[in-house]
Amino acid sequence: MSSRSAGRGEGRPTLEAVAALAGVGRGTVSRVVNGAAGVSPRARTAVEQAIAELGYVPNRAARSLATSRADAVALIIPETETRLASEPFFASIIRGVASELSETELQLLLILVSTERERRRLAGFLDGRRVDGVLMVSVHADDPVAELVESTGLPTVLGGRRSELEPLSYVNSDNLGGAWSAVRHLLGLGRRRVATITGPLDMEASCVRLEGYRRALEETGVAVEAGLIAHGDFSEESGERAMAELLVREPAVDAVFCASDLMAAGAMRALRQAGRRIPTDVAVVGFDDSPLARHTEPPMTTVRQPSEEMGRAMARLLLEEIAAPGRSHRQIILSTDLVVRESA
């Protein structure tokens, strides 16, 4: 009605315009738009018609301002370009999160943090209350980013945990069981000099996979030897290097369990260079079941972790946490399973 808005020409239709056209008040339109109860069928119809006619779409900034909700969640990936691109794990997580979120009104903000600058920027961002919750994957033990997020008090769900007493909600895959079954498989094949290449030990997943390796060995009465344990950082190069070391240290090694497919691929390369046949001389098992595992020569036996489902579960948990902020934190463990191909 105000001559002001009439004079502004091309502005998009507002709630007020819809109300005017439908011949009702703003409150009623708002109720209809938000699906609130207490609107007569007649009014509802009139409003819906007006909305359709005007092509009205609510202005989110205005809504956010009024409700102090952001209608968005952030997915934080504190990793380098290399890992992001080389590990399909992240893409799967993203996909899972996105698909779960697509059922809701929430937007997905992607935040990659690799430099110190980006970390500082993140701090300001989170304080600006631009998101209702945070998802974060690939958390290292003393990750300053994780601590930053935790300190904001925003609803948060991690993919993986920082330690056994992780205070935040998280979704994890059964790393222990996965590693255990991989090594059991190797032992079942009659291998007795079973080595392992671990991931970075400041990540809980790495430690737990190592623990699974240990337990499988112990259970079978095979001694755990320090010489059979080498360390990597999940990258292919580190796997290659670690395998080369193992070969020097323990020439009799006849199997190796790697904490990631990428490292397993590196290990396979090192083995090939050393003239060892896979799996005849040395059996290899990876972890992740990334697409890569099917391309190696021979195709890799590996532990599948349901990464897309992890993303979905993370999103679901976050939604719950946003809905009921008081509730205590929860965790979800997703099971893994061994995919037997030809490398072991």
Partner DNA sequence: TCTTCGAATGGGAGCGCTCCCAACTTTCGA
Partner DNA sequence: TCGAAAGTTGGGAGCGCTCCCATTCGAAGA
Q: Least Å distance between CB 114 and a second copy?
A: 8
Alpha carbon distance 206, 179 (integer Å): 10
For residues 328 and 173, the answer to whether their CB atoms sit within 8 Å is no
Q: Which does 76 bind (CB under 5 to 8 A by kind): DNA, a second copy, none?
A: none
Q: DSSP per residue over 154-216, as a string?
A: --EEEES-SSTT--SEEEEE-HHHHHHHHHHHHHHTT--SEEEEE--TTSHHHHHHHHHHHHH
Residue 31 or 209 having the CB closest to DNA: 31
Q: Least Å distance between CB 78 and DNA?
A: 27
For residues 204 and 162, the answer to whether their CB atoms sit within 8 Å is yes
Residue located via tokens 């993140």: 122
Q: Strand, coil or helix: what is 295?
A: helix
| 60 touching a second copy, by CB under 8 A | yes
Residues of this chain, 201-260, that bind a second copy according to CB under 8 A? 236
Q: DSSP per residue over 71-131, as a string?
A: -EEEEEE---HHHHHH-HHHHHHHHHHHHHHTTSS-EEEEEE--SHHHHHHHHHHHHTT--
Q: Least Å distance between CB 311 and DNA?
A: 29
Q: Which does 111 bind (CB under 5 to 8 A by kind): a second copy, DNA, none?
A: a second copy
Q: What token pair was written down for 224?
A: 């755990």
Alpha carbon distance 254, 256 (integer Å): 7
Residue 3 or 328 having the CB closest to DNA: 3
Residue 58 or 200 having the CB closest to a second copy: 58
* Mask for 261-300, x = binds a second copy (CB under 8 A): ----x---x---------------------xx-xxxx---
* Mask for 160-199, x = binds a second copy (CB under 8 A): ----------------------------------------
Q: Which does 4 bind (CB under 5 to 8 A by kind): DNA, a second copy, none?
A: DNA
| 65 touching a second copy, by CB under 8 A | yes
For residues 47 and 32, the answer to whether their CB atoms sit within 8 Å is yes
Q: Which does 295 bind (CB under 5 to 8 A by kind): a second copy, DNA, none?
A: a second copy
Q: Which does 43 bind (CB under 5 to 8 A by kind): DNA, a second copy, none?
A: DNA
Q: Which does 323 bind (CB under 5 to 8 A by kind): DNA, a second copy, none?
A: none
